[in-house]
Amino acid sequence: MKPAAFDYVAPRTVPEAVDALGSAGRDAQVLAGGQSLLLEMHLERVRPDLVVDINRIPELDTLRVVDGSLRVGALVRHHVFESAQAVPGPLGSLFSLAVVNIAHPPIRSRGTMVGSFGWGHPASE
């Protein structure tokens, strides 16, 4: 199967992305890593009118601890968590042990942690 036709935008700022998503309503999807979205589109289970590619928005590629809470940007890839130093303390050690069980290196280099949590595909890589 092939995905249905859709429009595509690649904003460079968060406000541009929000505007694009707001103008499209419920029929828009965000593209970051694409491991889940592209599969769903290929199988025609998701048929967006608009795909908003956020890969050109640098402020979404941040990982930091703020007031004791871990803040993971939408573009932080799985492979970042392979280093125990990426996140301070025991949580960093836990992530570094767990993330190597996510798929294989090419998928970890492209897939995002936020996308995995958001889609929640139990059988995905």
Q: pTM for the full model?
A: 0.88
| Domain boundaries of the chain, sorted by first residue | 1-57, 61-120
β-bridge pairing 28-31 and 50-53: parallel
Q: Around 24, how many Cα atoms within 13 Å sit in the side-chain half-sphere?
A: 21
Check: CB of residue 119 under 8 Å from CB of residue 30.
no
- Read off the tokens for 99: 């993330």
Q: Which fold has domain 1-57?
A: 3.30.43
| Residue-level pLDDT, tens digit, the chain, 125 residues | 678 899 999 999 999 999 999 998 778 999 999 988 998 999 899 999 999 999 999 999 999 989 989 999 999 999 999 999 999 889 999 999 999 988 889 988 999 999 888 888 765 66
* Exposure class string for 57-80: b at 16+ Cβ within 10 A, else e: beebbebeeeeeeeebbbbbbbbb
